Structures are given as structure tokens and as C-alpha cells.
Structure 1
Amino acid sequence: MAGRKIPEVYLDLLSQPCRAVHILLSHSKVPFTVRTVALRKGENKTPEFTRLNPMQKVPVLVDNGFVLTESVAILKYLVTKYSIPQHWYPSQAERRAKVLFPRMTGSAVDGVKLERALAELKETLDRLESMFLKRQPFLCGDDITLADLLAVCELMQPLGGDRDVLSDRPKLQQWRSRIQSALGESFDQSHSVLYKVRENFKSKL
């Protein structure tokens, strides 16, 4: 459409939900422009960004003047607006209801919070294995959905502190591998910043 602008996404790729949005856009070949907002530098608290999102959180989507400021809403909007394959967020009410959305923080790696989260993680991982992945390859069935995308970005986060929380869980490792295979290079591209944080962490040991 003439005069239509390419969507802009305001992201910090150290943030789990930001990576989820970035992966979906990249993998689906939707044209977009990234506006980096470095949370550690307080760029989310500038007057310019605060006017865009008074909650001072990322991600933010600006699509031809329309602004969305919550990760799950952004993902659902993108699937609907840009004809992204339906398996990501099925149109059928019953299947859509099964797509779970893990709680997103919109924050970068935080050592204290990370330790607390790791202490509470075992029960969640047990549930993923015993309930969601017991007889199916992805969390909601035979196809990858937004649930898998959001969950895997959450579970990749501890890599910033050089911790693979799936290292002793073969079933979840296989699930992660299936997601990586389905997403191709967009997965590693979106996690490249997190990988660098891991390398920096390891170099200081």
C-alpha cells in the first residue's frame, strides 16, 4: 500500500519477550525496523520512549501510527495482521485456548532475580515434561506455536549466566532442538546478544 510505513519494534534482545517478537518477525520474513532500547543504560526511561510507552517497558510495536506495548498482544497482532502461518496462533477457539503464555518480565539478565527464578524452576520443568510434552512434539500439539516461542525464550535466559537449565533434561532438550530446527537461523540471530553476555561472563571466571 502506497505510503505505508514499515513496522518499527523497540527492543532489547536481552529481554525474553523482545527476542520472541524478533524471532517471529525474522522467521516470518515480515519487513521491520529495529529501534534498540538498552535497558541497562536506562534508555527505556528517556522522555522520548516514555511518551511512546508510559510503562517504560519493551517490546513496543509501532505499525503505521498504531502502538502496542505488551509482548503477547504484539505477537497475536502480528500473526493476525501479517498472515503469518496459522499454526503460531490458531484461529479455532479450542486450539487457541491451549496456547499458554509464560509470564514475561521485559527485563534484562538480573543475577539476584535469576537465582530466585532458578530455585523455583524445577516444578515448572517437570510440568512441561509430564503434561505438555508427554505425547506431543510441541507444547500445544504437533505444530510450533507462540507458546513454544515464549517458553523457549524464557528458558534460554539463564544462559546469560552460563547456565543451561535443560542440561539434564533430554526431553526438553529435544523440544528445544525441534524449535531451533523449525526457526532456523532466526533463532540464533535473535539470541546473539545473549550468547555474547554468556561469553563475557565466562571470560571473567
Structure 2
Amino acid sequence: MSLKLYYDLMSQPSRAVYILLKKSNINFEPKYVDLRKGVHYTDEYSNNINRFKKVPVIDHNGFILTESVAIIRYLGRENLLPEALFPRADKVLNTRLDEFLEWQHLGLRAPLAMYFRVVMFSPDSEKIPSYQKRMETALDEFSTLWLGRGNQYILGDTVTVADLLAACEVEQPRMTGYDCTSNYPVIREWMDRVRTYFNPHYAEASAIVEKIAAKRVPMKKPTAKL
């Protein structure tokens, strides 16, 4: 099997796919795409790898696929992922996984990613408070509607790819000085479990997050929530 992964670990979906491949013992050829240098905007990349000019991308035996969720579903359907991480036999659990994967696009990823982009690239923007409010609304919903149901993980008491995708999104705002876990005990405890399960690969992929976060001044934290 020939599998190439085009990625940049600054990208939260890239980290998720990278960690998943490592955890699943899937051999792959890493193809680093330096987003900060604009490599994804070059004609070579956009014409031959990803017409959407994004990461991650996989090339599996000549089959090129974009979008992290599509990549994860493809790997699962090809039986390359462990059943526990990508449930296939249990149709109800598989459908619940789909439910979360569809929700997280707008329910979690969009508000957290937009906050990150605005703070990182327009730090003086007057819109930051409104983006922070949207992000915290998303964290409220994630904490209560997905994690606050008495289970250890998003879909129950077994970790799945849903947890990995979500954890990588929750990590991203730390690079702006905002720790999404600091005032959400449920999210913090869940994150600890996810990190532990996917380590050492999680720590490896998140090293860039740790490096940048260490240089940021932590933001004032609101009152802790359940």
C-alpha cells in the first residue's frame, strides 16, 4: 500500500489525520506543506494535489482525497482503522459517529477556527469579542450536549475518531492565549483522557501548539462552568 499525507501540523484537521494514522499503525509518506510560506497556493499544489488549496490531503495508491472528515471515513471504510476508533459493525454507533461529524463542522470547528484566525491575523479587530462569544457558545454546547451526558467520551465510554477531531479543534485557540479547557471542567477532564489515549502521537503532533501557546499571554478566564 502506498499512502501519502500532505499536511501542516499548524492545521487542526491535519493533526487529527496525522495522529490517527500513527495510532492506527498505518505506514505513510509524510509530505509537509508549509502553510506559512503559502505552499498550498502554488500552481503545483493546487493543480496536482488540492484544487481547494488546503490541507490535509491523502494520496492512496494514486487516489487523491481532500477534506479531513472524508479522509477519515475513507480510511474507515477501507478497513484501515481499528473498529474501536471507527465503528463499522455497530450500525447505530456508526450513525452516531456520522451525526457528530456532521455537527462539528459548524457546531465546533467553525466558531473556534474563526476566533483563532481573527485573533492571530487581526489582533486589533473590534470583532474579537463577538467571535469569542460565538466560540464560548459552541464550547457550552459541546460541554453540555455532547460531553455532559455521563459518558467518558463523545459517543460513549470508548474513544473514537470523533474525540480526536474535536480535541484538535479545542487545542487550536491555545495559540492565541485562550485555553478552552480552563473554565470547562468537563472538557478539561475529557481532553486529558483523549491526550492520554493518543499519546505519544498526540504530543508529537501538538508540539507546535505548545511552542506557540507558551509565548502567548493567557487571557482572563470567565467563571468556571460545568
TM-score (norm 1): 0.87
Per the TM alignment, residue 97 of structure 1 is displaced from its structure 2 partner at its CA by 1.6
Once residues 32 and 200 of structure 1 are traced to their aligned partners in structure 2, the CA distance between those partners, rounded to angstroms, is: 32
Alignment partner, residue 25 of structure 1: 21
Match status 1:185 vs 2:200: yes
2:99 equivalent to 1:98: no
State the match for 1:147 in structure 2. Answer: 162
Q: 2:136 aligns with which of 106, 122, 131?
A: 122
Q: Quick one: which amino acid aligns to residue 145 of structure 2?
A: M
Cα distance in 1 between the residues matched to 2:185 and 2:164: 19
After superposition, give the CA deviation of every residue in 1:100-142 in whole Å (9 maximum; x if it has no partner): 122257x895244794543212222222232222211101111
Q: Which whole-Å CA distance do the structure 1 matches of 2:58 and 2:85 have between them?
A: 18
Give the equivalent residue in structure 1 for 2:184.
Answer: 169
Kindly report which structure 2 residues correspond to 1:46-125, keeping only aligned pairs within 5 A, or say none.
Answer: 46-51=42-47, 52-91=49-88, 92-99=90-97, 100-101=100-101, 102-103=104-105, 104=109, 110-112=117-119, 115=128, 117-125=131-139
Query: Which runs of 5 or more structure 2 residues have no equivalent in the other structure?
Result: 122-127, 218-226
Does structure 1 conserve the Cα–Cα contact (< 8 Å) formed by 2:75 and 2:81?
yes
Instruction: Tell whether the 8 Å contact from 1:158 to 1:164 is kept in structure 2 after alignment.
Output: yes
For 1:125, give the aligned amino acid: L
**What amino acid is the match of 1:23?**
I
Q: Distance in 2 between matches of 1:169 and 1:148?
A: 16
Letter in 1 for 2:211: K
Could you tell me which runs of 5 or more consecutive residues in structure 1 were left unpaired when the two chains were aligned.
Answer: none
Residue aligned with 1:120, SS: helix
Which structure would you say has the larger RCO, counting Cα contacts within 8 Å and 6 or more residues apart? 1
What secondary structure does 2:30 align onto?
strand
- Residue identity matched to 1:71: S
8 Å contact from structure 1 (residues 30, 82) kept in 2: no
Give the TM-score, by structure 2 length. 0.80
- In structure 2, distance between residues paired with 1:135 and 1:153: 22
CA-CA distance at 1:59 after TM superposition: 0.5
Q: CA RMSD in A?
A: 2.1
Tell me the amino acid that sits aligned with residue 165 of structure 1.
C
The Cα shift of 1:80 comes to: 3.1
Residue deviations 1:42-70 (CA, integer Å, cap 9, x gap)? 10011111121111111110011111011
Matched residue count:
197
Give the partner amino acid of 1:139: I
CA contact (8 A) 2:182 2:188 kept: yes
